[in-house]
């Protein structure tokens, strides 16, 4: 399950968000929301998956009632929407790994031009295709020989690579100043509500809570397998990787560029996900002491880790979509083929246009918060206390969760989700220059409502058919 | 390094690393128990 949670967000988003929100002032609320958003939702997903043993449509129809299967379809769509552009990110990672091993990355004098040249060529499309083909091949081999085996290789390799890079970073001269900056809180920032909202957003996006992926994987685990231990292991493991990457990037940035390194993360070329990963970090690798061989080696293994992290998450997204299609009546191999085909075609615009990529990232990332709300809604309709007793605390050797869980799922998760969605929309109302209503604007409320709206109308119309296909007509919710 | 930096480091790293190691220990114990029960 750690393969699901650990993704690109740990590597390319966490560090810059920490820098932009006051260092240590950010990681305190980030830790708080690990316990108030991510872990409770991860428990809910694993418990729901083990209890119902269906993909999100069946799971929501069984817990919330047959009238709410459309919520599960929306959860699946959001994750599938992310899959369509996430495969492009996997491709970027592998391309930059090859740039690294061929020495092109460390030989380049203009990383901005290298990135622009690459993203404006057809290469992202080819690597997107390759990523989808690798992912489909892995899930075609099945849970044990495909997904489990690939994660047994990808996750430990990723952890070893990250530790190698971290050791190099913290042993650089002056690295300690960066680490100190990373952990120094500024108490006025702790009183800033924006820091808390960013901390909740980061935790919600990078742990995989609410994606529906853990729900699907949990459908395959043994009934005696734990919910709470596996859930905490996934959440803590994911955040541990974020912390190590944060320490690594801050130590390197401060060591090689002093305070300008941090400034680059806040307002400079490292202030966006792609800018940090594909422009700023290659410049840092180029400044590493030890010559071009050492620089190329560290650049290569960093991008290999990035590609592995993204690939392990992408595989679980392919699995989710294939399973949903399979439960709707397709044979599993046919479902894999259709998922792969859709991902190839509908992911192609994101591979060819950064504006399209950014739009899809905005629309479906915000959708993840709705996913969390829908999962909490399913638990509330089932009965939070009943769900806690029958599903979360059902494993014999697990540690048991107390009644405070009822309050978190029943009150705090809905409140956090509503505040977040309200905040995103408020910001978009205020900032979108071409009009908040404009469905063609990249970051508008209009584009979200337009894309979600079409999907919701279709799912509401098809609700009865989808639920009957998934659960059968005689099954009672 | 100030006291607030040290305290934040202990709080954050202690919680995340400590939580991870503790859960890893519990997971290994659980696997052992499940294996013993299956043998019985």
* B20–chain A Cβ distance below 8 A for any pair: yes
Q: Domain span at residue B26?
A: 1-40
pLDDT tens profile A318-330: 999 999 999 999 9
Q: What pLDDT was estimated at residue B40?
A: 67
Q: What pLDDT was estimated at residue A275?
A: 84
pLDDT tens profile A195-212: 888 888 888 888 888 889
Is A263's pLDDT higher than 80? Answer: no
Q: Domain span at residue A345?
A: 2-471
Is A253's pLDDT higher than 70? Answer: yes
Q: Confirm whether A477 is domain-assigned.
A: no
Q: What pLDDT was estimated at residue A474?
A: 62
How many domains, in total, are found in chain A? 1
List the structure tokens of A467. Answer: 């639920």
* B28–chain A Cβ distance below 8 A for any pair: no
Q: Min CA distance, B33 vs chain A (Å)?
A: 8
Q: Confirm whether A476 is domain-assigned.
A: no
Is A448's pLDDT higher than 60? Answer: yes
Q: Confirm whether A57 is domain-assigned.
A: yes
| Closest residue of chain B to A184, computed from CA coordinates | B5
CATH classification of the domain holding A20: 1.20.1740.10
Q: What is the ipTM of this complex?
A: 0.92
pLDDT tens profile A361-408: 889 988 999 999 999 999 999 999 999 999 999 888 888 999 999 999
CB contact under 8 A, B8 and A226: no
pLDDT tens profile A133-162: 999 999 999 877 888 888 888 888 888 888
The whole-model pTM stands at: 0.91
How many domains, in total, are found in chain B? 1
The mean pLDDT value for A179-200 works out to 87
pLDDT tens profile B5-31: 999 999 999 999 999 999 999 999 888
Q: What pLDDT was estimated at residue A477?
A: 44
Q: Min CA distance, A150 vs chain B (Å)?
A: 21
* B30–chain A Cβ distance below 8 A for any pair: yes
The mean pLDDT value for A412-438 works out to 84
- Which stretch of A54-63, A88-97, A275-284 has the lowest confidence by average pLDDT? A275-284
Is B39's pLDDT higher than 80? Answer: no
Tell me which chain B residues have a C-beta less than 8 angstroms from the C-beta of A27.
8, 12
The mean pLDDT value for A82-86 works out to 93
| Closest residue of chain A to B2, computed from CA coordinates | A184
- Whether A135 and A286 have beta carbons less than 8 Å apart is answered as no
Please, what is the average pLDDT of chain A? 89
């Amino acid at each position: 399950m750690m393969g699901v949670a650990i993704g690109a967000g740990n590597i390319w988003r966490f560090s810059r968000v920490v820098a932009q929100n006051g260092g240590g002032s950010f990681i305190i609320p980030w830790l708080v929301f690990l316990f108030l958003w991510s872990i409770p939702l991860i428990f809910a997903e694993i418990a729901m998956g083990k209890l119902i043993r269906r993909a999100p449509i069946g799971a929501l129809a069984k817990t919330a009632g047959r009238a709410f299967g459309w919520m599960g379809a929306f959860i699946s769509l959001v994750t599938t929407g992310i899959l369509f552009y996430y495969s492009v990110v996997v491709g970027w990672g592998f391309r930059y790994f090859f740039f690294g091993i061929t020495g092109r990355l460390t030989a380049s004098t203009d990383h901005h031009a290298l990135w622009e040249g690459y993203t404006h060529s057809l290469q992202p499309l080819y690597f997107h295709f390759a990523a989808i083909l690798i992912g489909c091949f892995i899930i075609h081999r099945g849970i044990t020989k495909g997904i489990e085996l690939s994660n047994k290789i990808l996750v430990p390799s990723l952890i070893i690579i990250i530790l190698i890079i971290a050791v190099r970073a913290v042993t650089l001269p002056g690295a300690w100043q960066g680490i100190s900056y990373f952990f120094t809180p500024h108490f006025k920032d702790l009183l800033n509500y924006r820091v808390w909202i960013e901390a909740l957003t980061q935790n919600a996006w990078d742990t995989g809570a609410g994606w529906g992926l853990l729900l699907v994987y949990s459908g395959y685990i043994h009934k005696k397998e734990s919910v709470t231990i596996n859930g905490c292991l996934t959440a803590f493991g994911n955040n541990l990787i974020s912390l190590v990457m944060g320490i690594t990037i801050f130590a390197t940035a401060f060591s090689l560029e002093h305070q300008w390194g941090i400034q680059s993360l806040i307002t400079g070329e490292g202030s966006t996900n792609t800018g940090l990963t594909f422009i700023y970090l290659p410049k840092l690798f180029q400044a590493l002491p030890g010559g071009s061989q050492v620089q190329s080696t560290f650049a290569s293994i960093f991008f290999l880790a990035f590609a592995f992290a993204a690939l392990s998450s992408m595989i679980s997204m392919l699995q989710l979509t294939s399973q949903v299609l399979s439960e709707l009546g397709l044979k599993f191999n046919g479902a894999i083929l259709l998922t792969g085909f859709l991902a190839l075609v509908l992911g192609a615009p994101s591979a060819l246009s950064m504006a399209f990529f950014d739009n899809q990232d905005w629309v479906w990332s915000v959708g993840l918060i709705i996913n969390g709300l829908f999962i909490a809604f399913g638990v509330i309709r089932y009965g939070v206390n009943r769900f806690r007793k029958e599903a979360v605390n059902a494993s014999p050797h697990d540690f048991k969760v107390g009644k405070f869980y009822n309050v978190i799922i029943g009150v705090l998760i809905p409140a956090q989700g509503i505040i977040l969605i309200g905040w995103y929309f408020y910001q978009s109302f205020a900032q979108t220059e071409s009009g908040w209503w404009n469905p063609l604007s990249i970051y508008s409320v209009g584009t979200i409502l337009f894309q979600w709206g079409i999907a919701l109308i279709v799912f509401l119309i098809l609700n009865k058919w989808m639920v009957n296909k998934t659960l059968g007509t005689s099954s009672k919710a | 390094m100030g006291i607030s930096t040290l305290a934040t480091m202990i709080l954050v790293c202690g919680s995340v690393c400590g939580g991870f190691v503790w859960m890893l220990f519990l997971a290994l114990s659980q696997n052992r128990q499940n294996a013993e029960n299956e043998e019985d």
